[in-house]
Each structure stands twice: as C-alpha cells, then as structure tokens.
Structure 1
Amino acid sequence: MTRPLSLAALTVLELTPPAMVRCAFHAGYSHVGLRLIPATGTEPRYDLVGDTPLVREVAAVLADTGVQVLDAEIFRLLPGQRVGDHEAAVATAARLGARELLVAGNDPDDARQMDAFADFCALAGRYGLGAVLEFMPWTEAKDLAAAARIVAHSGCANAGVLIDPFHFSRSRSRLEDIALVPPAQLRYLQFCDVPAAIPPSMDAILAEARAERLFPGEGELDLVGLLRAVPPGIPLSVEVPTQRLARTVDATERARRALAATRRVLAQVEE
C-alpha cells in the first residue's frame, strides 16, 4: 500500500483552498490538508464552511484532480465553547472527504478540556472522521505525554495524537515517550525539520513554527528515528512554512521541494 503524502495548508498558506488542491496535484501529492478555520486572526478567512460556492469549487477541484483530503483544521477547544459549535465545519470536512480533524487544546481547565475532547471525538465519529489532538508547547496540551493522557481519557476509537516533529522537539518530548501512545492512536504524522537548538522564548518558537521551518532532512531532528518509532506506512502531512523562501520561489516549487525532501528521508528509513 502506498503511503499517503499530504500537502499541509501551512506550507502554501498564500494560496486559496482551490489553488492548494491544484498545487498538491501538480507537485505530486496524493492528499491535501485544508484549513477550514484560520489558526490566527491574521490569516486569510475563506467562506469554507457550509454549502458555499467556495466549498463547491473545492469539491469540484478535488474530483477533477483526484487529490484526497487527509485532514481539516483547526478545531480549537476553548473555554466556554460548545462542541456543537463545530458541527457545521465538521460536516463540511466530511463532505470534502477528509479523514481526520486536527484539534488544538486551548482550555486551561484540564478536566473540562478532557471532557470537551471526548465530546468532540463523539461528534467527529458521527461523521466517520478521526479526531487528532496536536500537542504544541504554547497550548494546554503542551507535550506528547499531555496529549496522550487527554486522548486516553476520551476512550474513543477514532481519537488520536498528532506528532509534529517541530512540536516534538520544542516541547522536549522524547522518542521513548511514543510508547505512551497505542499505535492505533497514531493516525497520521506531520513532517518537517528544524535546527536542534530551541529558541530562547515562546514568542520566538511561535514565529519559527508559523513562518520558518526546514524541509525534511535539512535540519537536525532525528526524523528517521521518529519514523521508525511510529506505525509503518503512517500518512505524512508535510507542513513546512518557509516565508523567506516564498519571496522568491512559488508555492508549487516549494511544495515539490518539500515532497522530494520527504521522500529522501523515507528512503533512509527503508534502507
């Protein structure tokens, strides 16, 4: 079985959603990630929830290219928010054929956040989707151990932990920590690289995360070790924002370079 390789939205965030799908197709990816809900207030906002002209256009481009949707993002667990508030976006993700929903834990009340994640998993399950919690050092699910605990509490078969090598490094998680997560909960993996040195402040880490990562194999992370610690053939979402490079290199060429770099790392795993 061919491993799904997906172009994450953050890699080519300057593109509209239909253009992201076309970019994934022309760069050689089998899948794409769609950002239905912006991650920050400064990102472009698209009318991409519900039965909108843009949703219909994305569906048409997916059908025309044969590209599939690996994941849809970003579903935040926030204080005072009802899980049902996400249903329209979850339904849209299902309509577009997504397999997974990317969740971020942003509620400082631990018990409430665990219950909210369980409720979100139940909502995702009604649409046949997985719900994966991505740990990030600036969120309340700060590292792999914290995310594993929240996911385990849910008791849901469709729940998962999402490992991003960037957050894995910057949260000081360890390869041996992956044993905390049952293999079935590692539903897919994000993929990128960075220097080993961790920036001195959370603001600097955030800036690096959102704007300047490295193509796989061009940094200092043990990506081969990471891939050997997770289930074989796990889908990869290639998430490599490179804003400086984007000033001179277009989105499709950057996406091609990211994919070629990913395949070089995969070849090392298979040696």
Structure 2
Amino acid sequence: MTAPLGLAALTVLDIAPLHHVELAEQHGFDTIGLRLLPAAPGTIAYPLHENRVALDTLIRRLDDSPVDVFDLEIIRIGEDFDAAAYVPMLEAGTRLGARAVLVGGDDPDRGRLTDSYAELAQLCAQYGIVASLEFMPWTAVPDAKAAVEIVSQADGPARSVLVDALHVGRSTTSLDDLAAIPREWLHYAQMCDGSVPAPTDDAELIRHAREERLVPGTGGIDLPAIWATLPEHLPVSIELPNEALRRAAGTGPWLDRLAAATRDILAAVPSACH
C-alpha cells in the first residue's frame, strides 16, 4: 500500500511555516499541515490569516515547491462557538490550497455540538475545505461512533471524520467502528504509535498525545490492522511529537526515520483489505 505522506504541524510545531516547507522537501513528504490557531491557550500557532505579508510570502514559496498544504489546525467547537469567526482562517486556507481543517469537539451538549458542526461544515464547503472532526478520548467526541453520529447530521461535501491512530488505540473505538465510517467521509488519517499500557487519566492522555508519541512500529498500537480498515491510498499525516527523541536524533534524521517507519507500516497492509 502506498499513500501521500504529510508532515503534521504538531510533529515540528516549533518550526515556522517557511522552514516547515523546506523540511518536507528535504525529507520526502508530499504535504504539510499548518497550525494557524492554538490547540490550547498559550501554545504555539502561526496565525497567517492575521498577517498578510507572511501569508503572501508562504504562498510564493509554495508556488516553487512540490510540497502542498493539506490541512489547517485547529477549530475547536465549544459552548460559545461562532462559525463566522473562522472565515479569515478559511479564506487563508483557500489561498494556501488547503483541503481540510482539523476540528475538535469540546461542547458537552451533544445536540448543540452537532448543530455547530453542521454549521461549520456548511461554511467550509463554501471554501472547498472539509471539516475533519477528530475523535479524542478526553473530548466531547471520545470515539469513532460519536464522530459518525455528529457528522451524519450535517449536509454537503465538507463532512469528514479524522482517524488518529493514537486515539483509536486509546479510546473504545473498534476496527469495526473504523470500517463503518462512510468512505467519502475519510480524507486523511494521522499516523503514530503509542506506549502500552495506555494512560488512564485525561491529563496523561493529553500529555502523551502532545509530547510522547512513538515511532510507528515501536509501540503497542496495531497500526496495520487500523490501516486495513481505511481506504487504500488515503493520505497519511505523520503526527508524532516527541521532543526527547527528536533532539537525540536531530531533526533531519528524525524525520527520515518517521517517514521510513510509516512506509514500512503501509507496506505491511494487504491491499485486499481495502
């Protein structure tokens, strides 16, 4: 099995977008993800939608590169969600050629969260960008079943569910749940491995997700089995923050290792399973 490889924002979050493109070119990645909005207050983001000069500079750089922008991060749907507030981000995404925006669900009111997602998906469709709802076990969308239930209430071509291997391994999501996601809702998936046993409290789950993911094939998540449930050639974004391992190896060798390990996992997935 082969698939386009993406270098996710979180893997090299300290690297500014221009250098992110350069790293992707040097180490065999086809696409990159950019974090325009922070995942949590005070964390790193590059708000290109608020800086026309920086946005134009990056677009010119991409025009001369084989690397494309695939996804933007992150829209979080909370209790006071206002889809219109994300228009500048989506406008920038269109100029960058982005195909997806990562969405997190934080509103504990399932009905309101579902309505907010549907509104966002309708807005994203106007920009040719899919709204990829990611299930994460500590959020209001804890597993694949919850994501499917929410996305199924939206209309239009922007409906999307994002599968992250770490969250599959650490939620109640089964392989059957993954296989049940409508194929047209899958636009990319995130690759990494994770330690076993998994943390049992939310704080540690979050810390591992943001700081301590493992190289594919070195942890306890059955990655070939997960990918056997997904469409063949589905784009893969390597989301693998682990600063201790990255510093020990050096950024270049580290990215080479991640890309090679991911290709090894994909090669182990029988095409007949798709």
* Interval of TM-score (by shorter of Structure 1 and Structure 2): over 0.9
Report the TM-score when normalising by structure 1: 0.95
Give the match for residue 145 of structure 2.
145
TM-superposed CA distance for 1:47, in Å, is 3.6
Structure 2, gaps ≥5 residues long: none
The answer for the alignment partner of 1:56 in structure 2 is: 56
For 2:181, give the aligned amino acid.
Answer: V
In structure 2, the partner of 1:89 is 89
8 Å contact from structure 1 (residues 47, 54) kept in 2:
no
What corresponds to 2:246 in structure 1? 246
Contact preservation (8 Å) 1:8, 1:238? yes
Match of 1:73 in 2: 73
1:155 CA displacement: 2.7
Tell me, in whole angstroms, the C-alpha distance in 2 between the residues paired with 1:89 and 1:58.
15
After TM superposition, give the deviation of residue 19 of structure 1 in Å.
1.1
Give the alignment of 1:10-159 within 5 angstroms: 10-50=10-50, 52-159=52-159
How far apart, CA to CA, are the structure 1 residues paired with 2:179 and 2:166?
A: 19
Q: Give the C-alpha shift of residue 51 in structure 1.
A: 5.3
Unpaired stretches in structure 1, ≥5 consecutive residues: none
Partners of 1:102 and 1:134 within 8 A in 2: yes
Q: Are the equivalent residues in 1 in contact too, given 2:121–2:158 (CA < 8 A)?
A: yes
Match of 1:184 in 2: 184
After superposing on structure 2, the runs of 4+ consecutive aligned residues of structure 1 that deviate more than 6 Å are none
Q: 1:179 to 1:46 in 2, by over 3 A?
A: closer
CA-based RMSD of the aligned residues comes to 1.6
2:233 maps to a residue whose letter is G
Residue type of the alignment partner of 1:117: Y
Kept after mapping to 2: 8 A contact 1:118/1:156: no
Instruction: Please say if 1:201 is aligned against 2:201.
Output: yes
Alpha-carbon distance, 1:270 to partner: 4.3
CA contact (8 A) 1:50 1:92 kept: no
The DSSP-based 3-state class of the residue aligned with 1:66 is coil
Counterpart-to-counterpart distance in 1, 2:74 and 2:113: 16
Determine the structure 1 residue equivalent to 2:216.
216
Equivalent residue letter for 1:190: Q
CA distance in 2, matches of 1:234, 1:46: 27
Q: 1:56 to 1:250 in 2, by over 3 A?
A: farther
- 1:73 positional shift: 0.7
How many corresponding residue pairs? 271
Residue 37 of structure 2 contacts residue 47 of structure 2 at CA under 8 Å; is this kept in 1?
A: no
Compute the TM-score of the two structures, normalised by the length of structure 2: 0.94
